[in-house]
Structure 1
């Protein structure tokens, strides 16, 4: 095996992301994911933009550490609310609104109608 100098080792970003289908999510898991005000704010902000247009790095205005923000994104992914894909150095997001609404009719609408300052 050849060894190349100056080549960056593979990072954790190259591993594939796991996405849970909303069909596989229990009501309790959905409620738990939406129970956190920061996660509800992420969902509301993603609902306002086109799919795949908002990278994770644009959520630094939220009052949590970067590692905590990563955890919030993982919880939303595991609850079937969020789909993510890596594009270069950015991780883009898509709210799985139609799929989630099909599984839990009306639940996401309640979150989206919540006043914007409720997560502060």
Structure 2
């Protein structure tokens, strides 16, 4: 009698694990599947491909060009009681950050940037 209960318990437990696994796979967002597929497309020699950003497709990217594009992008100023930050509209990079309550050691009256 005890063996039947044990076998039925194991079958029931295995069924629950299989149902839970199927539910996780069903509710998983599709973006995670696309990222996993992109991660498996690495070259055979072990080199990691680097993404390139180009204004127009098919043209090579010049390293200095990216910096000039980021400098030419409009900036948004975020100011709080502790800091003043300039955020680039291209990529959301922090271009300049000034700490208001900390003075710079090299300048007489300037804040730490």
TM-score range normalised by the length of the shorter chain: under 0.3
Greater relative contact order, per chain length (Cα 8 Å cut-off, separation 6+): 1
Of structures 1 and 2, the larger Rg is shown by 2
Q: Structure 1 or 2: larger helix share? A: 1
- The TM-score with structure 1 as length reference comes to 0.20
Q: Structure 1 or 2: larger strand share? A: 2
